[in-house]
Structures are given as structure tokens and as C-alpha cells.
Structure 1
Amino acid sequence: MKQLTLAGAIAAVCGTTFSSTAVLAQPSAQAADQSEIMELIVTGSRSPERLDEVTASVTVVDAEALQQDLQLTAELQNILSFRVPGLAPTTNSTSNFGQTLRGRTTLVMIDGVPQSTPLRNGALDVRTIDPAALQRVEVVKGATSIYGNGAAGGIINYITRQAGEDAFNVSLTQQVGMNAEETDDTASFRSSATIDGTVERFSYVFNATVDDNGVQRDAEGDIIGQALYGLSGVRTQSLFAKLGYQIDDDKSLSFTANYYDAEQVDRLIDVTSSINDGTKTYAVKPAPGQTFPGEPQGVDGNSNFVLQYRDAQLLSNTSLTVDAYTQEIENVFFYSTTFADPAAGFSGGNSVIVSEKEGLRLNLESVFDLSGVEATFIYGADVLNDVTSQPLADVRSWVPEMDMSNEALYLQSKFVIDDWVLKAGVRDESVDIDVPDYTTLRMCGANNVCRGGNPVEGGKLSYSDTTYNAGVRYNFSTAFSPFVSYSQGFDVSDLGLLLRAASVPDLDQVQTEASVIDHYELGVAGRYRALNYEFAIYESESELGTATVENPPGSGLYVPVRAPQEIEGWELALGLTVNESLELGTTYTYVEGQDPDTGAYIDARKIAPPKFTAWADYTVGNGLSASLQWMKVMNRNRFAPVDPVTGRYTGAEAPVEGYDVFNLSALYSRDNWRVSLGFENLFNEAYFPARAQAFTYAGYNTMGLGRTVKAGLTVEF
């Protein structure tokens, strides 16, 4: 692996002064069209900004793309896996564990409100809102200091629906589906209703959605394993409301509420194996009257409330936005006998990540005309209190309550000089985490051998750092717009993993150092006649690393890996308008990572194999259109087996063999109604997703979803 070659090149070009942007197209010709350059996004700089002036690589999945993909699936982790270059292939489950962005963890937000729980990262944050409540998704790639802790790989920001201009609009959707090969118990249904409108100064949006997956089967007709984050039998219930009031021409007030619940209401029994066994994990139906220990896994309620006040003319050249928000979530994990403690009367248990956040964001934007130079300054403060713990459902404590106070001040500047966009920013971060005295959980495994139960003296952990971003973009022409950027991210390790495995008597002896990630990027974007393109090459490095490792394997005990990490990769997106009826596109993603000191590769918990996607959108005419999608996941084989004789691998180091998945959807529109038909895994490919192949842990080796057909009807009035 090259040693900072990209970093050196960028440092030579721009030193530490400016910031730049790569806008990588989503796999949708609509969003990639450079002729629509006036489209605005809000995530890159926390304020509405033109796409040709954003300060990081961005993919926007717009309303049209979301509507098209809902003909196939309502799973956001699947939609984003296809639509976002740089995002690892889908995990085909409720968990996005292993679905990293450019090889690092991602901060997931809803309208800027964090859904991720970085203090105890359960990797269940991508699936925290229903796509029916969304206007678009903005994905900012690469480490960023704009939003603080947890954004080592970038940001996924779900932007919720806006009210229509008419006084009363209604949209009703009913969708049904089933496995096309083995239909037994696979019937699924999805019902969604949206009412919105604007009456004088008042606006409103209401959405209610119920989505029942039914039993999910693989290409061989077997029920896909359910115990480890399976989607079989998951029922999702979502309620969304947004109310707005325009006080006057400049001032507005809005209130947004979102509730999301997704639990496994149907219980199945897994027949478990490991990828090393050469067999798959699958599920079977329970015997009549059979009962299940523990609680159903899934999101047991995710509530978000946001109150926003905006004054577009606080001063003649300055706007003000104030957000006050709360978020509460309980993520219930699978039942495990790992938590057995016979002496206390426990044969196992479910762990639950409980997180409560309260925050305030103060954001000001000042715009000046400095002798023909448009200068913009975005500045403000973030205040966040995050209380996170991971008890068991039976109230035993596994991860103690971590009470984090996070304060930050930030400044982002932008200078537009003719065709040049110059940017620089700084964020000063301060984090204090209070941890009480606690005792590690006593757990008894095979042969009643127990571990844990040792007392740990708590205390306060304090972190502080100042991170920067800088770069330049040159909009030479619509056909050629090069950019170069440097940005930093601040990442506090998954503290909960370390605390629950502590074998030392004092918190001060736990290795909890924070990491700073340096991210470098170089690329070009443009459009020439019917062709649009985006290309970016990047490199990120961290001296301390951000990973943890299970030690001993299978114990559930994790220790920090403080080794340095270097990750590099490149992304390409192409779109071609063949004629008025046909649009084609493709993307390619490559990422690889190593320890620069030893040359050892980073495993599949962070690094995914190369990914290729292609699509064709065809308008037949008379209201009929169709879309064909193709995702190709390629090989990755970087590790030797731990046992050369048996060929067994360990951890997340097993090789990945490439596979192909095709999807087909069609839509017929007439007046105020639409009929859709979708085929997911069109050719019924029997494959193991990349994570299922690379992870040797028992139960992860489940096959992908077999051919599934869905039909839907939408009526609007």
C-alpha cells in the first residue's frame, strides 16, 4: 500500500488553507445531471448550498430514486448500498454491522439529529426511519469535523418530507409481495398514507406506514436465518408529523416528530453453522406451542422531536437557525446463552442499547460581497447530552450508564472568486463522559466456566481536540470541474465495548484514547453533452486506529486495537442519456486498508470488496416505464487460513467470492394513480452476501434473499 502518496500530493497543492468538494453522482441519471447544478443540499455545510459549492464528496438520493426503489424494497440499507458509491454492499439484515462508508463508521442523522450511538455502537442506525417519510437522502463521504464525534467515514442524513403547495394532498399506497419460488408464509404487505398541504402561513405533513415482511426465503427456498438481525417476521410501524408556521417573510417555526418501531413479531429457530463448516445458517418454524426465551429483537421504539426557529434576516446579511431536539431509542439484540449465570438463575438474555439525547444547535450564516468576492461564514455552537447504556432486558447491567456532555464551536468559510470556490473550516470539540463505579457482568459459558464479576472504579473521561478542513474547487466548465480537499474527523472509540470487557480495577487503566482521522481527496466532475461523470480518489489515516477485537474469540469481550490505519480507495460514476427514452449509468467502488507499520490488511468489519453497479431506465411511453439494476460484488482474499490443513479462517478474515444481483421494476402511471411491479434478485441468484462470507462467527453465514416479487398501487388526490 502506498505511504501517503495522495496526502503528499494534496499537501503540495493546497497546503493547509483550502477545502474542496467532490460531488459523486447517485446511480440515477436525474441526480447526476450537472445541468441541475442549482439543486441545494444542507448536510455539507449545515446550511442550504449549491451542489457546485459543497465541501465534500456528496451523493444525493432524491425523491424520484426513493420512489423507484420502493417498488423493490423498503430497506434503506439495501437502497443506499446500490445508490451510494463508497458504501459497502448490503448486509441483508436489520443491522448495518460491516456496512461501512469508505472503510470507516458513519454518523446517521434525521434532519441533522444523530441516530447513531457512538458510545456503544450497535450498528442499527441506518434502519431508523421509513423511506415513506423522506424527501431525499444526503450522504457526505469522508471524515468530517462539521458534525463532530461518530463521523469517521462520513454522514448519512435523512431529510424528511416537505409539505406541498396545495391546501390538501393525499397519497395512499398498498403493496403486497412474496417469494416467487417458495411462497409458503412469505406473503408481505405494506400500507402507507400521507396527507400534506399548505394553508396560508401554516403547513403540515402526516405519514403513517405499516410494513410486514413475512417469512423471507433464500434462492434455495429455505427460510433465511433470523437470530442474528434477520428480516423474517419483522413488522415496522412508523409515524411522522411535521408542522410549520411562517411568522413573517423572514421568520419561521417548525416542529417535527417521528416514531419508528421495527421488531421481529414472528419467532423462528435457527439451524446455526459457520462459513468454515461449508454449510449455511437457515431457520425453521417452531413446533406447535413452542415458547421462546427472551424478548423480540429490533428497534423497540425510536422517537425524535425537533423544534426549529429560523430568521432569514437576523441582520441585513446574517441568518439564524436554532434547533432544539431530543432522541430516545432502545435497540434490542438477539437472545444469547452467552449471558447465562446459573447461580443467579439466568440461562441467557437479551442486551438492549438504551440511548437518550438532548441537544441544541445554534447556526448563523453571514454573507458579504468583498469587492466582487462572495464571502460566506457559517458559525455557531453545538451542545449535546447523550446518556447511553447497554443493560440486559432482565435488568442486569452489562455496559454501565455513560453520561456524555459534548460542546463544540465551529466556523466554516467559503469564498467564491469567479470560477473558484475556496473553503476552510475549524471545529473545537470538548467531550466529558461520566462513568459510575460498576461491576462487569458475570457470564458463564460451556462447562459452567464463568468470567466477569470484577468491580471497576468509575470516573470522568475527558477528550478535546481541534479539527480542520481545507481545499479548493475550480468550476472551469460544465465539462471539467476538478477539486482537492483535506478534512479531519474526531472519533471516540466504542467505549461501551471496552468498559464491558474491562479486566482492570480502575477506569483510568482502560485504553480509551480518541482518534483523529485525516482524510485527503482528489477528483473531477463534469458533463459533456449526454455524458456526466464523477471521479474521486481518496486516502484516510489515523495514528491510533478505531477498531476493537474480540479476545478471546467467541467470548464477547473486546479490547482496543491501537495500531495505525491507512485506508485508500477510488470511486467512479458515469451517466449517459442515450435519448429521451433511455438513460444508462454505472458506478465502481474500490477501498482497501492496512496497518502501515506491519502491512497487515484490515478485516471485513471495516473493508468491503470492490462493488460495481449499473442501471438502465427506459420510458416506454403512455405512462409505462421500467428500470433494470445490476450490482456486482467482487472478490476479496487478503488473509491466510489459521489452519492450513482444514482451511479454516478466523474472525472477519474469510475470503469473499464475487456474486451478481439483478433487480427489475416497472411502473404504469395514469392520471392520479400508479401501479408498480418489482422483482428483487430477478434471476434467483443463490449467493452469500459479502459479510456472510467474510465473517466466520456462527450464525452470520446466511444466504441472500431469493427472487421476490412485489406489486403496488398508489392513489393520489
Structure 2
Amino acid sequence: MKKSIFLIGSLMAFYQVAAQKKDSIGQNRLDEVIVTASRSPEIVKKTASTVHIINKKEIAEQALISPDLSNILAYKVPGLAFGNNLVSNRGQTMRGRSVLVMIDGIPQSSPLRNNDREIRSIDPSVLERVEVVKGATSIYGNGAEGGIINYITQKSTSGKPFSGRTVLGFTSHDLFNNKMFKSDGGAGYRVSQSFFGKVGKLDYLVNGTFTQNGVKIDGEGLVQNPRYGLGETAVSNAFAKIGYDLNDNNRLEAMYNYYSSLQDSKYILDLGKYGERPSIGKLGEREGVKEGTRYNHNGYFKYINKNIFRNTTLNTTLYFQDFYTIYDYRNAPRWKTGGQSAILEKKYGFRADFNTEFGKDKGLKGSLTYGADLLNEKTSQPLVDGRIWVPEMNMLAIAPFVQGKLFLTDDLTVKAGLRWDKMSVKVPDYTTLPSNKDVPFNVQGGRLNYSNLSYNVGVSYVAFDFFQPFTSYSRGFNIYDLGRVLRDAKSNVLNEINTDPVVIDNYEIGFNSKIGQYIDFSASYFYNYSKLGADLVSVNGFWTPLRAPQYINGVELALNVYPTQGLTIGTNYTYQEGKVDVKNDNSYEKYLSGLRIAPARLNSFVKWSDKAQKLQLGVYHMYSFKRDKFEPALTGKYDEGEGPVKSFNLFNFQGSYKVNQLMTVGLGIENVFNTSYFTPTSMYTARDAEYVRGNGRYYTVSLNFNY
């Protein structure tokens, strides 16, 4: 009831403001256009939700410091948890909930078995921009309970038949010591080559990027624990996009992207002690095969018609994803004989979006986006030796949707939409693969059916540049990591296992502000609730879902100041907290674990460029606050996921100089002051093996050639 009053009151406030006179400040800093929020082109300030865009230039600046997309997003996106410095992005939630990651609309996240690899699923060298939409959404359905990260890939914008770009990079933790040229293992390199152009009606872009990471060193000069680490990994990315304009209204486009990230380390775990000394790497022979993502294939074939019938555009996409990743080797008692698990995913999908505009000439203006999503996904988690931990789950899904925008005035926009998801998951008969302490279950397979109606409504008012408020409600849902539930089954009948989806009610109110030519400010408050949530808790060393009511709320603030030409100063602050009703008595006495709730964070930056746009410099700061909400158990140890998180400061630097029209040199410094710190993940996880420090100081020198 309170939430309904909240929304109605917000709407009434907007209509009262609408009666006032419009401010005429003429700036366009919030007028960027995105497609992710409503599946049709839309101005950011009219989306009625919190949106962040990381453009190509910003991606390149951050990639010079580190090409790790997890870190790039953590520094640029308020509300997204700090990266864990591992190949896994487990715990990197958005506003405390899982996020749907896409590449050009192709889902990388899986509701059937979360692979925790989706944020690092493509190389930043081929990205045009990243569109981030906060909060649960019914626009894309299953999996987007915390928001959406959509990687938009590049296409050729050159009018020439042939152009190219070559980028060479060298990274070292000891740049100014002659040891950098010796085989101490700390150095790495990066090579990226692009060719692009336009010939008649045909445009093309191809890119190949290879990165070899050296050994990762912490602020104390110690080799980091290689388990799930990013050290000594070889990252490969191959990309191609070809477009053909049939005429002014019709276009065909095809894209393919291959990504892999494999670790081949000469180090093994030297076990530390949580709270006392870090786990580090020592020389030794590793068991098992190379771990990491063997391959991630993504591709689409797209047809676009800008006028299929009156005032209507059509965008159809036929897409696929083929993914295979391998985890580290685990000895007994995880499984009776130890082993390595892997996740395999295959997706085939079709998406059709119609967008009809009405009232252009006279009357009430608006637009209607409608269509359907079709998806077939097959996911399993076997061991490398052939044993089955999670059987192959085969999902068929269909989802018709409709999203409408009504422009009551030029400045007052109302949005609303519906989406109906119908899914069926076929599970074969299987036998659980227990540890030494458990008894195997022969589970009778069958078919799990899900049906969900999601809906959303939002209002934005943009008459005043200095105050552009919005409010929204959206219902989202997620089949929470079905494979994790099935592999821990304690029943021999499929339908007796609790596989109910997570349904989230998300509320948000906020505003954007442009104050003259010098200041941008935005603020938002969010609240989300799920009657049957899912939080991971550790049971005998295994992460298992806790199903109980839960809520999360928080605030996000962002400020950018432009005091003079070429100079930008910015800062943003994020705070969130959440509780779970373990007793199911409306008490909400227990805080959500660190896997869900990130500590508050303050990010700041200063960027400057000269008038000729030759020299560009940037300093980036992150302050991660502490979060200490749990008491240790009677044994004196913290439960996993509930360890205290201490605060820390980090500074990064990036600069570039354009020598001429063809060549640019760059320098990036990660962790400028060589701060010795533990990542939030290593602190809240409270496991000896995962108590690992973050990166020490790293230098990257790059040469960029355009021709």
C-alpha cells in the first residue's frame, strides 16, 4: 500500500510541476540516444529510469589503465559492485541483484546455470559504447532483475574504401626497472588490429585482439593466488561486422564475435589464513587442464526496415551463442575422486521489434513498440572427465511484449508496457554427484513450466533543464540458477524441488539536472522487493540458495562540473543495503550477505585536454567504504559471505598525446600509489583460499596508429 501511495504521489507531483514555465537553458549533455531501455531509440532523459552510457572514448581511456571490463564498469557505473580481480564476476551485482549482460542484445547470462563469466565475455577493443539500465525491467524479461548491461559493438563509420587502426601495448608492474625485459613473468602485452571501410552500399569492420597477461603482483610485491585469477591468461578476440544498405529504408547486417580467456600458470596456491595473511602463488605443477573460457561464440543476422508500413519500423534479429568455460581442479571431498567442472551453453534466438509512431502531424503524440522474443537454450555442467554434475537442461521460451510511450506534452512523457514470458525446461533423469558426506539421489526428470506477466510504468518531465524528475515501477523476474538447485537436489522427484522464480517489484524516483553550462547533477532512490528471493549461503563449503523474502534499497548521486573548456571534474556516490526475512515472520533481522550487497562507494575523476585536443590527462579515484554487519560464529570464524569488509582508497592515471594525425602514444597507471589492499570479495567471502590482495601498481604504455 505504501509503495502504491509512493508512485501515485510522485505522478501528482509531476503534473503540478508541468503547469510551470519551461526553462530555456540550451545544453545537450543529457540528450544522448540509447536503444536498450525500451528497444527503440530514446533520449536518455526521457527513459524514466537511471541510465548510464560509457562511450567509445571513455572505454578507450579506461582500457589503457586495464582492459578488464569488470574494472572499467566498476569505475564508470554507480550501483555496480566493485570487481573481484578474478576471472569470475560472482558478487558483482547491480543494486544488489543479478544483472542481464548482452552483446548487441544477445543474452550472455543464463537462467539455467549462472556461469559468472558474462561480464568478461567480449574485448573492449570492439565496443562502440556500453548502455546500462538500472533496476528490474520487464523489457527483456528473464534475468534482468537488477538491470541490463548491453555491449554495443562497433561498425564502420568511415566513408573511405579502406582504413585501419593498430594498437600496441606493453604492461609491467616494474616499468622503470631494467628487470622488465627479463623473464620474471610480470610483464604482458596487447596487440589489436582493425580494418574498416565502405565500398558502395557495403560497409565492413574486422578486428583481431590478443592480450597476454603476465603474473599478477599485489602491493607487497607478492604473486597473487592464481586460482580464478587473471594472471598468466591469454585473451583472444576476433570480430567482424558487415552491413549492406539495400536502399534508404532497408538494411542487412551480420555480426560474429569470438572470445576466449585461458590461464596457463606455473604457480599454485600457497594457502594463507583469513584475516592474517593472504593466499599467494608459489611455483608448482597444477592439476587438471587449463581453466577459463575456452570459447564464447556470438553472432547475428539482422534485417532492418525503416518503413515497413505507415510510420512503422521493423528490426528483426536471428542470433546464437555457443559458450564453454572450465573451472579449477578440486580435490575430494568436493567429489569423491576430485575433478574439474565445466559449463556449456548454446542459445538460438529470434527477436522481432516493430515500432509505430503516431500523432506526428496532429493530435496526441506517441509510439508503440511491440513484437516477440523466441529462445532455445541448452545448458549443462559436466566434469571434464565426463561425469555429470548438472544434466543438460533444454529450455524453450516465447515472450510477446508491448511497450508504449505517450507524449502528453513535448516535455511530459508516460511509458507503460507488458511482457508475458512462457517457458518450458526439459530435464532428463539424472543422478546427483555428491561429496563424500552426501548420499546420491536418482532424480526422475520431467518438464518444468514457468509463466510470468511483467509490467512497467514510468513518467518523466523535462521542461526545466535544472530539474528533470522521473519515477517508475517495474516488475521483473529470474529463474534463479536452476542448475545449482538441481545439482543439490534432496528429492528424487523433479517437481518436489523448489525451483520457483524470483519475482521483483522495483520502484525508483529521481531527477537529472543541468545547471547552466557548467554543472550536471543526478540523484535517485530505489527500492526493490521479492517475496521469494534467493541469496547464496555456504553449506559445507558449497554455495546453496536461501529462498526467503528480501528487500534492498539505496541511493545514487552523480555530479559533473565543467569549470572551463577542456576540464571536467566528476564524482558519484552509491549506497545500498538489504535484509532477508529468514524466519518468514516479517522480522527482516538478517542482513543480506556480501555476495549481494556491495559496500558504499565514492568514485571521482578529473580529466583535462588542451585546446588542440592533442594532450589528454585523467586521474580516477575510488573510495570503497567498510561494511561490517555480521558477528562471527561460536567458533570465532565468520560464515562465508559474511566477513567484515574494510575501506580502501585507489588512484588510477591515464594520459595520451597525439603526435600527429597517424600516431598517438598513451600511458596508463593502475593503483598509482601501489596501495596494498584486499578486494571486497576476498574480505566478505571469509575463505582462506580466497583471501587475496588486489593488484599492485601496473604501468601500460601504448602506441595507436590510424591510417
**Alignment TM-score > 0.5, same fold:** yes
Out of 427, 441, 447, the position equivalent to 2:433 is 441
Instruction: Write out per-residue CA displacement over residues 451-475 of structure 1, whole angstroms, 9 at most, x where no aligned residue.
Output: 3432011111111011110021011
SS at the partner of 1:137? strand
SS at the partner of 2:112? helix
Out of 311, 322, 331, the position equivalent to 2:325 is 331
SS at the partner of 1:249? coil
1:683-698 alignment to 2 at 5 Å?
Answer: 683-698=673-688
SS at the partner of 1:118? coil
How far the C-alpha of 1:316 sits from its partner, in A, is 1.9
Contact 2:536–2:543 (Cα < 8 Å) also in 1:
no
Partner of 2:69: 76
Partner of 1:239: 238
Partner of 2:248: 249
Contact 1:667–1:676 (Cα < 8 Å) also in 2:
yes
Contact 1:6–1:539 (Cα < 8 Å) also in 2:
no
- Cα separation, 2, equivalents of 1:337 and 1:65: 43
Contact 1:44–1:55 (Cα < 8 Å) also in 2:
no
Contact 1:480–1:525 (Cα < 8 Å) also in 2:
yes
Aligned CA distance change for structure 1 residues 95 and 7 (closer, same or farther; 3 Å): farther
SS at the partner of 2:590? coil
SS at the partner of 2:28? helix
Partner of 2:445: 458
How far the C-alpha of 1:477 sits from its partner, in A, is 1.4
- Cα separation, 2, equivalents of 1:312 and 1:568: 41
Contact 1:6–1:538 (Cα < 8 Å) also in 2:
no
**Which blocks of at least 5 consecutive residues in structure 2 are unaligned?**
16-25
SS at the partner of 2:240? strand
- Cα separation, 1, equivalents of 2:411 and 2:470: 12
Farther-moved stretch of structure 1 (186-195 vs 369-378)? 369-378
Partner of 2:369: 378
Partner of 2:21: none
- Cα separation, 2, equivalents of 1:680 and 1:80: 15
Query: Partner amino acid for 1:438?
Result: Y
SS at the partner of 2:74? helix
State yes or no: 1:271 paired with 2:273.
Answer: no
SS at the partner of 2:559? strand
Contact 1:151–1:491 (Cα < 8 Å) also in 2:
yes
- Cα separation, 1, equivalents of 2:559 and 2:299: 39
State yes or no: 1:563 paired with 2:563.
Answer: no
Farther-moved stretch of structure 1 (691-700 vs 174-183)? 174-183
Out of 427, 431, 448, the position equivalent to 2:419 is 427
Query: Partner amino acid for 1:637?
Result: D
1:95-106 alignment to 2 at 5 Å?
Answer: 95-106=88-99
Out of 641, 653, 656, the position equivalent to 1:664 is 653
Query: Partner amino acid for 1:439?
Result: T
State yes or no: 1:549 paired with 2:540.
Answer: no
Instruction: Write out per-residue CA displacement over residues 419-452 of structure 1, whole angstroms, 9 at most, x where no aligned residue.
Output: 10110001011111110110001433xxxxx534
How far the C-alpha of 1:323 sits from its partner, in A, is 0.4
Contact 2:480–2:502 (Cα < 8 Å) also in 1:
yes
How far the C-alpha of 1:47 sits from its partner, in A, is 1.5
Instruction: Write out per-residue CA displacement over residues 339-365 of structure 1, whole angstroms, 9 at most, x where no aligned residue.
Output: 6666xxx4x211101000000001100
Partner of 1:295: 289
- Cα separation, 1, equivalents of 2:411 and 2:641: 47
How far the C-alpha of 1:595 sits from its partner, in A, is 2.0
Out of 13, 23, 26, the position equivalent to 2:10 is 13
What's the C-alpha RMSD, in Å, of the aligned pairs? Answer: 1.8
Out of 338, 343, 356, the position equivalent to 1:366 is 356
- Cα separation, 2, equivalents of 1:615 and 1:203: 37
Contact 1:150–1:491 (Cα < 8 Å) also in 2:
yes
Partner of 2:570: 585
Partner of 1:29: none
Identity %: 36
Partner of 1:90: 83
Aligned CA distance change for structure 1 residues 684 and 557 (closer, same or farther; 3 Å): closer
Query: Partner amino acid for 1:577?
Result: Y
Partner of 1:628: 619
Contact 1:493–1:547 (Cα < 8 Å) also in 2:
no
- Cα separation, 1, equivalents of 2:104 and 2:51: 16
Instruction: Write out per-residue CA displacement over residues 379-423 of structure 1, whole angstroms, 9 at most, x where no aligned residue.
Output: 000000110010001110000111111110100000112210110
Higher relative contact order (CA 8 A, sep 6+): 1
How far the C-alpha of 1:672 sits from its partner, in A, is 1.6
Instruction: Write out per-residue CA displacement over residues 143-197 of structure 1, whole angstroms, 9 at most, x where no aligned residue.
Output: 0111111111001100000212322220000000111388531110000011111
1:502-517 alignment to 2 at 5 Å?
Answer: 502-517=489-504
Instruction: Write out per-residue CA displacement over residues 107-164 of structure 1, whole angstroms, 9 at most, x where no aligned residue.
Output: 1000000011221112110000000010000011100111111111001100000212
Instruction: Write out per-residue CA displacement over residues 54-76 of structure 1, whole angstroms, 9 at most, x where no aligned residue.
Output: 24211000001011112101000
Aligned CA distance change for structure 1 residues 13 and 340 (closer, same or farther; 3 Å): closer
SS at the partner of 2:568? strand
Contact 1:427–1:468 (Cα < 8 Å) also in 2:
yes
- Cα separation, 1, equivalents of 2:688 and 2:494: 32
How far the C-alpha of 1:259 sits from its partner, in A, is 0.2
SS at the partner of 1:571? strand
Aligned CA distance change for structure 1 residues 639 and 441 (closer, same or farther; 3 Å): same
- Cα separation, 2, equivalents of 1:12 and 1:49: 26
State yes or no: 1:224 paired with 2:224.
Answer: yes
Query: Partner amino acid for 1:531?
Result: I
Instruction: Write out per-residue CA displacement over residues 16-73 of structure 1, whole angstroms, 9 at most, x where no aligned residue.
Output: x99xxxxxxxxxxxxxx96144421110011222222224211000001011112101
Instruction: Write out per-residue CA displacement over residues 581-606 of structure 1, whole angstroms, 9 at most, x where no aligned residue.
Output: 32100000001001252321100010
SS at the partner of 2:673? coil
- Cα separation, 1, equivalents of 2:45 and 2:554: 23
- Cα separation, 2, equivalents of 1:690 and 1:8: 37
> So what's the TM-score if we normalise by structure 2?
0.93
Instruction: Write out per-residue CA displacement over residues 217-272 of structure 1, whole angstroms, 9 at most, x where no aligned residue.
Output: 00011111111x10011100100000000011100000000000100022421112
- Cα separation, 2, equivalents of 1:419 and 1:538: 23
Farther-moved stretch of structure 1 (33-42 vs 90-99)? 33-42
How far the C-alpha of 1:562 sits from its partner, in A, is 2.0
Query: Partner amino acid for 2:231?
Result: S
Query: Partner amino acid for 2:260?
Result: D
Partner of 1:137: 130
How far the C-alpha of 1:698 sits from its partner, in A, is 3.4
Query: Partner amino acid for 1:279?
Result: R
**Which blocks of at least 5 consecutive residues in structure 1 are unaligned?**
19-32, 445-449
- Cα separation, 2, equivalents of 1:537 and 1:703: 33
SS at the partner of 1:443? coil
Partner of 1:30: none
Instruction: Write out per-residue CA displacement over residues 314-357 of structure 1, whole angstroms, 9 at most, x where no aligned residue.
Output: 00211111100110101111111146666xxx4x2111010000
How far the C-alpha of 1:372 sits from its partner, in A, is 3.7
State yes or no: 1:714 paired with 2:684.
Answer: no
State yes or no: 1:477 paired with 2:475.
Answer: no
State yes or no: 1:320 paired with 2:314.
Answer: yes
1:74-223 alignment to 2 at 5 Å?
Answer: 74-166=67-159, 167-180=161-174, 184-223=184-223
Partner of 1:407: 398
Aligned CA distance change for structure 1 residues 42 and 34 (closer, same or farther; 3 Å): farther
> So what's the TM-score if we normalise by structure 1?
0.92
1:480-491 alignment to 2 at 5 Å?
Answer: 480-491=467-478
SS at the partner of 1:678? strand
- Cα separation, 2, equivalents of 1:324 and 1:98: 31
Query: Partner amino acid for 1:668?
Result: Y
- Cα separation, 2, equivalents of 1:547 and 1:495: 13
Partner of 1:651: 640
- Cα separation, 2, equivalents of 1:476 and 1:634: 37
Out of 604, 611, 618, the position equivalent to 1:614 is 604
> Aligned residue pairs: how many?
679
- Cα separation, 1, equivalents of 2:206 and 2:456: 38
Contact 1:339–1:349 (Cα < 8 Å) also in 2:
no
State yes or no: 1:531 paired with 2:519.
Answer: yes
Contact 2:356–2:369 (Cα < 8 Å) also in 1:
yes
Query: Partner amino acid for 2:297?
Result: S
Partner of 2:528: 540
Contact 2:273–2:691 (Cα < 8 Å) also in 1:
yes
Query: Partner amino acid for 1:585?
Result: G
